[in-house]
Structure 1
């Protein structure tokens, strides 16, 4: 009898060991796949976004180098030139995002990058405000699909928790673009000329040529989705699809066709709208920093040379880049996003409070670091949050596009926050940014409590809700999206 029990125990132990070995092997296989995707997908996407942000914000560096003077811009003319970009950007945001899905990111992202690279070169040859506005309007059209397109593209490859960190690496390019932009501009301005171009013209031309070169390479390196990746084996392709599909409740395919019902659900999703509003408020700060930091530095240290002022813009961006890596890393580690979104506000509140309180140069420069520290992280966190709280590919596409569209409404507002007559204290701009930080922190906390409340409510009535949808077809079940009784919000 004891011998039989011992034999059964050994057999059970052997089965458990085999299951554990299989589980470890599967985890190792998935880690190898994830590393391969990291190396093949993330670098190109991050480089495209770096150039996108540089070509959008290098006008701030050009301003220090005489852009305003040479074009005879007066009063609010510079703000008008900035605003025109966001008008076209906002109008074409969602259409461009849908085009990205229809055409495929592997073709759409390089093509639109080629377009805004050409626009950047074109800016080097403008001579009037009207010409500058026309080129900036075209730049907005071509850049409209880059941010949502890149975020949507990455969501095709990564699980929810993994996506946040990869979006962090991608959004790292926003603060780095400010740092690189300042370094590039200071280096370029040391040249006597570039062909027939001089001064600020060289900034637009050289950076535009670099963008075109990277776009041409991206046509070769980007692939639309796991099934078309030449660098994956057939087994890896299937695993890449299965691990993403496994997180999508009631969805039978990974990449669905454009569907009006799913697009509507993606746009009207409560977390999409709440997060998009947070991103709008945040972008007033982020793009205010991106466009006006060189100008602000000039008012803090008016006695420095133009090159020195350009270089002083670099350190705050490096601090911002540090937090863009750290906060999404913690989010991935704990698999939560909403609480980290709320945590970005306090440092920015402190920074703008310091701006309003004093004109002391060193304190104001320290405040720049606080303002730039956590502001840039919400690009990754907000895109990850809207992506985590939708189901189908169509809904994810429009949800990310909606988030980006709201964000750049904030960008349009940002172009009018720092006005010439308010220097050097800029009370209006600093007060607006302070109010934005307080507002998005409050909204993020309120949304977190609502998600917990609604999940609890769904738990209590799940049985009744499942009975109500028992007679629906598979397609109707898929179209329920976040209204499905089995759905829970991912905080």
Structure 2
């Protein structure tokens, strides 16, 4: 907890303090919200069936367009791995590490765009911002299909990173504006699962587009970029009309449903401040917990990007032809999709994140170890499946975990963007994990991934333990002050402390 919070908390501790538990596992009937005047308002909550109907209605209007954009975003970012098998390097005369440089140059621009983009999500409509950046990155992908040399590919990849950078942190913040904390994980997993499908779908699509080689005087790899870029352009135009900005302005909700959503979100956040004020951005920058989550995310994104960029090449070096390698890259992603959704659903049901992250990290280590230890093609391919199953669920689980544990919408928007920034530092590393000189076994690259996943495991174990102990400490404080009354002035101070307030409980 940073110095500013300590000073205010000391002031609060010196006066009578009321603690209001907002537990992650609380039912709506258990939670009462407090107004700015300090009056306790009993929420007129929906019953269980009505709540399910409301959530299904929101899901039907929010998730399909978000899944479609996410699928195309990851398809556009990772299709260079498929294009590589269709003579991209030979046609552009790439030598040495130039291909890896073209992968890596995307990420510094991607990282630089993330926090400004999430601030823009707070300042203007999500439908406007998300559709704009999607249109821009789609144009970059189409341009990528017409490059003639190394310099052209570097330039289009840099622009792609600058425009794509706002999407992933933006979409994670956007989901927290519609759902309670214990409902975000599954929704994020459903959206991110479309990214795993992008890996499999990309292989099938690349195999089909390969038949276009020579059309218009362009190689198959050019058509991969052009066709997929055009599809993204179309969706970006549709997205402007399909994205609903926030619950209060959603036309598909009735007035009663507007009020119900507002009550649910207010009860879940404990009425923490949601105003736009730079101090909440600085709170995020000063929060050590977010930096730990940045490292966990970096250690998770490194294997994700390594697989999405190099899996077709890894499988090809097992002895498969280029076309068969495109097809053989599909099953690992299908399994990853199933476990990504299933793991996050179970995590939501159990009210925990850390223990599930730990389990998937162990599965990922097993999968990469099989790739490293055996020369048998069947065992190596089995390793890719286990690795994908262990790697991909970590991303939505980790993002939901961090988002659940940040109070206040602006601090949460900044903290999520910081986390994804850390994750995409892993993308820079991933670009150089698998080098041509290490083919066909890539022992060095596999060993690097085991090291990163192992680091994520230790950091996840530390944060799980810390959150658990901090919740116990706050529970003890709550029992000591349960009959005290919180004056208005101190309540206002607490509202500005985000997750540092005495009644906030962390998700473990």
Q: Same fold (TM over 0.5)?
A: yes
What corresponds to 1:9 in structure 2?
none
1:261-308 Cα shifts (integer Å, max 9, x gaps): 21222344344222221111011111000001111111111xx33211
2:391 to 364, 369, 375: 375
Task: Summarize deviations over 1:80-112 as a string: whole Å, max 9, x none.
Answer: 000100110111111112112212212111111
Which of the residues 269, 272, 280 maps onto 1:262? 280
- Structure 2 counterparts to residues 51-450 of structure 1, below 5 A: 51-251=72-272, 256-301=274-319, 304-450=320-466
SS at match of 2:228: helix
CA deviations 1:412-440 (Å, max 9, x no partner) are: 11101111111112122111111112221
Partner of 2:6: none
TM-score (norm 1): 0.91
**Alpha carbons 1:465, 1:485 under 8 Å: kept:** no
Q: Max radius of gyration: which structure?
A: 1
| SS of equivalent to 2:105 | helix
Q: CA deviation at 1:468?
A: 12
The number of residue pairs the alignment matches comes to 465
More off after superposition, 46-55 vs 379-388? 379-388
Match of 2:69 in 1: 48
2:20 maps to none
Contact 2:361–2:394 (CA under 8 A) maintained in structure 1: no
How far apart in 2 are the matches of 1:341 and 1:269? 22
| Offset at residue 473 of structure 1 (A) | 4.8
Spell out, residue by residue over 1:218-273, the C-alpha distance to the aligned partner (whole angstroms, 9 max, x if none): 11111110111111111111111211111112426xxx332222122234434422
Distance 1:162 1:286 in 2: 24
Give the aligned partner of residue 14 of structure 1: none
Within 2, Cα distance between the matches of 1:86 and 1:109? 19
- The answer as to whether partners of 1:100 and 1:145 remain within 8 angstroms in 2 is no
Distance across 2 between alignment mates of 1:265 and 1:464: 26
Structure 1 segments unaligned to the other structure (5+ residues): 1-21
Cα contact 1:193–1:202 (8 A) shared by 2: no
C-alpha offsets along residues 371-428 of structure 1, whole Å, 9 cap, x if unaligned? 1112111221111111111121101111111111110001111101111111112122
How far apart are the structure 2 equivalents of 1:251 and 1:96? 23
Change (3 A) 1:468 1:286: farther
More off after superposition, 329-338 vs 207-216: 329-338
- Contact 2:362–2:390 under 8 Å retained in 1: no
Q: Which residue of 2 aligns with 1:487?
A: 504
Question: CA offsets per residue over residues 134-174 of structure 1, 9 Å max, x none?
Answer: 10000001100110111111111111111111111001012
Q: Classify the secondary structure of the residue corresponding to 1:487.
A: coil
2: CA distance, partners of 1:438 / 1:472: 46
Structure 1 stretch displaced more, 63-72 or 387-396: 387-396
Instruction: Rate the CA distance shift 1:24–1:486 in 2: closer, same or farther, 3 A.
Output: closer
Q: CA deviation at 1:57?
A: 0.2
2:7 corresponding residue in structure 1: none
- Choose between structure 1 and 2 for higher RCO, CA contacts under 8 A separated by at least 6 residues: 2
Distance of 1:194 and 1:477 partners within structure 2: 64
Displacement of 1:23: 9.1
1 CA distance for matches of 2:418 and 2:71? 21
- C-alpha offsets along residues 166-195 of structure 1, whole Å, 9 cap, x if unaligned? 111001012111000001100111224454
With over 3 angstroms needed to count, the CA separation of the structure-2 counterparts of 1:450 and 1:25, relative to structure 1, is: closer
| Contact kept in structure 2, 1:284 and 1:411, CA below 8 Å | yes
Query: Secondary structure, in 3 states, of the residue corresponding to 2:107?
Result: helix
Give secondary structure in 2 for the equivalent of 1:172: helix
TM-score, with normalisation over the residues of structure 2?
0.88
- Provide the rounded CA distance (Å) in 2 between the counterparts of 1:68 and 1:31: 51
Partner residue, 1:456: 472
Structure 1 counterpart SS, 2:212: coil
